[in-house]
């Protein structure tokens, strides 16, 4: 496991994994005052956290399933990507897809953060791609099972 450097300027403890096998760490809102999100509105929610990821790693900001199911609150650009060379504060873009307003409170768990290894692609420009059983069929072409 690679170590990730973190600066915590929030009033909350460092993000933790909720269970031993959890992939995501809970991110908390770091607010001076609560933030209301009207239906179909979006807000950038600060966390007070700053990361230095190892080279070859990214952090993905993902929705929390409970907020999505119970309140219609989700991460707008899910998953949001934090690159290894970004040093600014982690912010979470939340959107309210429900028909009721929702208020984000200081310290509320608003998203999950997954740290993942990645590889950059090197393009090989060709005239044709190899055949496959699926071919160019997409968008539900494999059917409902």
Which residues are 94's β-sheet partners? 43, 75
What CATH number should be reported for the domain holding residue 84? Answer: 2.70.40.10
Task: Give the domain extent around 51.
Answer: 5-117
143 found inside a domain: no
The pTM assigned to this predicted structure is: 0.88
Round to whole Å and give the CA distance between 69 and 102: 13
DSSP, res 4: -
Do 98 and 36 form a contact (C-beta atoms < 8 A)? no
pLDDT digits 0-9 by tens, 35-90? 999 999 999 999 999 999 999 999 999 999 999 999 999 999 999 999 999 999 99
Asked if the structure places residue 96 within a domain, the reply is yes
Closest CA to 74 of 82, 84, 63: 63
**Residue range 13-26, pLDDT digits in tens:** 999 999 999 999 99
In a domain, 141, yes or no: no
Q: How confident is the model at residue 144 (pLDDT cuts 50, 70, 90)?
A: low
pLDDT tens-digit series, residues 79-115: 999 999 999 999 999 999 999 999 999 999 999 999 9
Number of structural domains in the chain: 1
128 assigned to some structural domain = no
- For residue 140, pLDDT over 80 is answered with no
Q: Establish if 68 belongs to a structural domain.
A: yes
Residue 145 lies in a domain: no
Q: Is residue 123 part of a domain?
A: no
Classify residue 105: in a domain, yes or no: yes
């Amino acid at each position: 496991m690679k170590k990730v450097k973190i600066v915590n300027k929030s009033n909350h403890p460092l993000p933790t994994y909720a269970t031993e096998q959890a992939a995501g760490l809970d991110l908390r809102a770091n607010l001076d005052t609560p933030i209301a999100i009207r239906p179909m509105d979006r807000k950038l929610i600060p966390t007070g956290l700053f990361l230095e990821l190892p080279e070859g790693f990214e952090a993905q900001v993902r929705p929390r399933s409970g907020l999505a199911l119970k309140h219609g609150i989700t991460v707008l650009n899910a998953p949001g990507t934090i690159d290894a060379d970004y040093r600014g504060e982690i912010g979470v873009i939340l959107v309210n897809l429900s028909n009721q307003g929702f208020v984000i409170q200081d310290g509320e768990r608003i998203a999950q953060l997954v740290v993942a290894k990645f590889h950059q692609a090197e393009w090989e420009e060709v005239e044709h791609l190899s055949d496959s059983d699926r071919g160019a069929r997409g968008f539900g072409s494999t059917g409902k099972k």
